């Protein structure tokens, strides 16, 4: 693939640090180091998200204690937003709307904890290679390159701090090697004590706030009554969640298919005479591709940060199981 050819030149560069050379004998081992660091280390810092011409700056604080993982992410640009996580519970705070949305985190995590605990399957869908050592946010980092084995997922370049393994920079690329999106720490502190007060919301809940519980109920795949009839290489079903839509409106089924890094979400919601599907077919918004179709009385919406034809294959492959 063109992306593969474009990055091969970087692999020939000599690594200037003996400790890095020793640790890099197995490129896949770096995935484990990145996965562990993002979930088990204390860290804080500021990073920039780039997608096309859009830039967004966020501040993150992550702490691990006897009670598990705790994190606060504050978006510093535009409308104020905060995401506060305690283990699997996630609260999205929208001060301008005086709204709090409560959900639970799934297998897919946000930067810098982008790799799941079970990372081994990633090598089945990507060629895992080492690039050069370079500096990010004033720290030495090892570049790990994930080149897709097919056209059903994008390429990834991960820069991990050489000692801790914490991901300091992550880039998603298309087949031509062009940047789709990128996260980059501009400053970061790794390890040490974290003041618990930094994890608390910065906005006072004065007056009436609306609290939306979007957690839903996890169900077994067999109870979803929907299936991916034609498997898509590399993608497996990781979770099924049902959420009520309201009185007499039924429920929405949310299925997540992932290769360990890329993920495709499928939302299945009932339609009635007053709910007509609009905008069927393809749609793109930033790095996210969306595909909609109707199956009987249901609207199927598939979306993900993956090539459009991958989203289509999953969306077209969803079928309803016969009632038992």
- CB-CB contact of 86 with 66 (8 Å): no
Residue 25 pLDDT: 58
Whether domain 2-199 has CATH 3.50.50.60: the reply is no
CA-CA-CA-CA dihedral for 68, 41, 182, 87, to nearest 10: 0
Kindly report, as residue ranges, where domains of CATH 2.50.20.10 are found in the chain. Answer: 2-199
List phi, psi (to 5°) of 275.
-125, 95
Kindly report, as residue ranges, where domains of CATH 3.30.200.100 are found in the chain. Answer: 216-320
Look at domain 216-320 and name its CATH class. alpha beta
CA atoms within 13 A on the CB side of 214: 15
Q: Which among 239, 263, 247 is positioned nearest to 311, based on CA atoms?
A: 263
For the chain, list residues with pLDDT below 70.
1-25, 106-108, 247-248, 272-278, 324
Q: Which among 256, 259, 268 is positioned nearest to 301, based on CA atoms?
A: 268
Residue 106 pLDDT: 64
Strands 318-320 and 226-228, how do they pair? antiparallel
Q: Please write the tens of the pLDDT for every residue from 55-89.
A: 999 999 999 999 999 999 999 999 999 999 999 89
């Amino acid at each position: 693939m063109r992306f593969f050819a474009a990055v091969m030149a970087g692999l020939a560069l000599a690594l200037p640090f003996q400790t890095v050379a020793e640790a890099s004998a197995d490129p896949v081992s770096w995935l484990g180091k990145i996965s562990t660091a993002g979930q088990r280390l204390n860290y804080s810092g500021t990073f920039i998200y780039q997608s096309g011409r859009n830039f967004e700056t966020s501040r993150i604080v992550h702490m691990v204690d006897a009670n598990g993982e705790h994190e606060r992410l504050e978006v510093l640009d535009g409308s104020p937003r905060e995401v506060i996580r305690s283990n699997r519970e996630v609260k999205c705070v929208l001060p301008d709307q005086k709204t709090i949305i409560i959900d639970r985190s799934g297998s897919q995590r946000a930067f810098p904890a982008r790799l799941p605990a079970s990372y081994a399957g990633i090598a089945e869908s990507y060629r895992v290679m080492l690039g050069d050592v370079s500096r990010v946010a004033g720290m030495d980092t090892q570049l790990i390159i994930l080149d897709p084995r097919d056209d059903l997922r994008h390429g990834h370049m991960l820069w991990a701090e050489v000692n801790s393994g914490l991901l300091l920079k992550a880039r998603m690329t298309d087949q031509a090697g062009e940047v789709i999106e990128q996260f980059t720490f501009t400053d970061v502190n790794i390890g040490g004590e974290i003041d618990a007060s930094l994890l608390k919301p910065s906005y006072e809940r004065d007056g009436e706030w609306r609290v939306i519980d979007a957690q839903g109920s996890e169900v077994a795949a067999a109870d979803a009554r929907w299936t991916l009839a034609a498997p898509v290489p590399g993608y497996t079903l990781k979770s099924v969640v049902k959420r009520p839509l309201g009185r007499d409106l039924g429920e929405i089924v949310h299925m997540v298919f992932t290769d360990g890094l890329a993920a495709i979400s499928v939302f299945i919601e009932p339609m009635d005479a007053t709910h007509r599907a609009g905008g069927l077919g393809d749609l793109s918004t930033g790095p996210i591709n969306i595909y909609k179709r109707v199956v009987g009385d249901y609207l199927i919406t598939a979306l993900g940060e993956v090539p459009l034809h991958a989203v289509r294959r999953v969306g077209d492959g969803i079928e309803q199981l016969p009632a038992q």
